[in-house]
Structure formats: structure tokens, C-alpha cells
Amino acid sequence: MQGPHTPPLVIGIDAGGTKTEAVLADGQGEVIARARRGGANLAAHGELEVEKTLHELIEEVLGDGPARPDVICLGIAGVDRPDDSAIIHGIMRRIGARARLLVTNDALIALVAGAGVGPGVVVIAGTGSIAYGRNARNEAARAGGWGYILADEGSGFWIGRQALRAVVRAADGRGPATALTPLVLDFFGVSRAEQLVREVYRTYLKPSDIARCARLVQQAREGGDAVAAHIASVAADELSAAVRSVVRQLELDGGFPVVMAGGAFHAVPWLQDALRARLAEASIAPAAQVHLLTTDPALGAVRLALAEARGGASIPTYKTRDHLAL
């Protein structure tokens, strides 16, 4: 910890399904050091792997110097669930994180990074998907975030899985021929659709591995493939529906920001314009200012950590208790 008159030193961490980033920053928010590792999602990677990743990240950004952070803000999926929140706090105690700890949903730090602390919505399409927002009363709401088995529509995993399904449907004659077939086979290094069974099941691919197939949908769509175009269109519909749900729950109106974040928007850049068009057409959010997140979500965690160090970060509370169960 720093002395009583020393400017605060903070760490902001963005823990996602594919990558985890930590940023050490000074009292003005200037970045001192960064570190990056693979995913740190409790559901996908397990408690021990998450602990290992967070420990390595914090050690790397701090280096060998004597300074220690006043606050660590960790944005990680699932901490709205009490059990997961308790696990994360236990992990941070075990790795010796003696700073004040602020643990929040990864969607909040992305929203703060892209839209500040005012009303707005973030739609994340990474390995998973979620829409999250807050209003002027500091109430929060969300749609999605149920995980890849129950939902995650429009995410990189969902798009990649739809591509794989399209290939095997075409191989069976249950679906139309698609340009995704040669792209998917080449991606996995196989020559026949039947060989995908071994690649997908016997090697136990993680959701993040399937999400890497999302870019193939963009490639096939650009070549005029109708199957890929349909997959991308449904993904945009699903993400738009999630945003509209949050807007309705929070009773947002006017020109509030909608931030697009996550790797799927880069793997399938068509989604960016498609989401803008769908929200502009919808009566519920016609004036929304839709833009792509161009900064690291970890910097949103830094901003919250600095606010906590200066007297307390303003963390929104869910409008209804139903959302706390997600």
C-alpha cells in the first residue's frame, strides 16, 4: 500500500473467455505496465486455472518494485451469482492480493471503458454474449450471459457452432451446399466432413476454439454464400434483441450510447453495421449512438479502481432481483 499522501496506484483486470488483461496505472490513469494471458472464466476454465492466470498477471504487472496497488478492480463474467463471487474473492485472498478489492461483471468495465459512468448499454459478443446497461438512476439490467449451453446467441462461439452445423447438414443432404464447407475443413486440417467428429469431440475443443471459426462466416458471406449470410443475419437479430431488452428494462430514451465490444465484432465486422441498422429501425432505440469499443475494457476497470481509491466507485444495482440469478 502507498503512504497516506501518495497518489493511488491501481490495477484493472478484464477477465474474458478468450483473453485476460491486467493494467497497472497511476493516480491519473496513466498506464505503467500491462500483462496478458489466456481466458479466465470460471465456467469454461475452472477455479484453479483462473487462480493461476490472475496470480501470474498481477505478479507481472507489479514486477519486482516495492510499490503495491491501493485497489484492484476485477471485471469477470458470472460474479453477479453469489457463489461465483465468493469463489473469486477466495482466489484473490489466496494469491495474496492485499489491496482493496472491487469485483464486478466484465460487462460493466466494458461499458465504463466505452461510455463513461453515465447511462448507456454495452453489447458484448466475444466467446459468449451479453447486453448490459445502466440508467440515470444507477440501476442496471442485462439480457443474455447464460453461457454457451443455455444461450450466448450472436457470440463468437454461437456463430462458429452454426458454421460447423451448416457443414455437417450439407454433408448429410439435410441442408444446402455452402462455401463454409471447404473453409471449415481447411481450418481443421481435414479433407472430409466426417473427420470433424474426431477434431471436435476427441480433442475436447473449448468454446473459445469454436469461436475462432466465426471469421469463416464473414469470409463466406463476402463471397456471396447464402448460408453464411443467414447465420450472420440471425446473429445480428439476436444481439439487437438483447440490447432492446435492456433498453426496455431500464426505460432508456434519447441519444444514449450503445457500445459494441468483443471479438465477434472483429471476426464478423458486418455485424457492426447490421446492429446499427437494426437499432435505428427499432422504435425503442432510434437515436442510440452505436459505436465500437476502441479501448481496452481493462481501462474501464482502472477507472472504477481509481474512483474506489478516491472514496468509492458507483456500482449500479440491478433493477430487479431476477437478474441477480443470471
pLDDT tens digits, 93-146: 888 777 888 999 999 999 999 999 899 999 999 999 999 999 999 999 999 988
pLDDT reported for residue 204: 77
Give Cβ neighbours of residue 122 (< 8 Å, ≥ 6 apart): 107, 110, 111, 114, 115, 131, 132, 133, 258, 259, 260, 261, 293
pTM for the whole structure: 0.89
pLDDT reported for residue 6: 65
Domains of the chain: 10-104+296-325 (3.30.420.40), 107-294 (3.30.420.40)
Q: What is the CA radius of gyration of the chain?
A: 20
On the question of pLDDT at 66 being above 80, the answer is no
Contact status, residue 13 vs residue 55, Cβ threshold 8 Å: no
Contact status, residue 51 vs residue 95, Cβ threshold 8 Å: yes
Angle of helix 82-94 relative to helix 47-62, nearest 10 degrees? 50
Residue 207, all three cell numbers? 468454446
pLDDT reported for residue 326: 39
Give how far the C-alpha of residue 61 lies from the chain's centroid of Cα atoms, to the nearest Å.
22
On the question of pLDDT at 1 being above 60, the answer is no
On the question of pLDDT at 205 being above 90, the answer is no
If phi > 0 it is left, if psi is from -120 to 50 it is alpha, else beta; for residue 99 that is beta
Give Cβ neighbours of residue 168 (< 8 Å, ≥ 6 apart): 193, 196
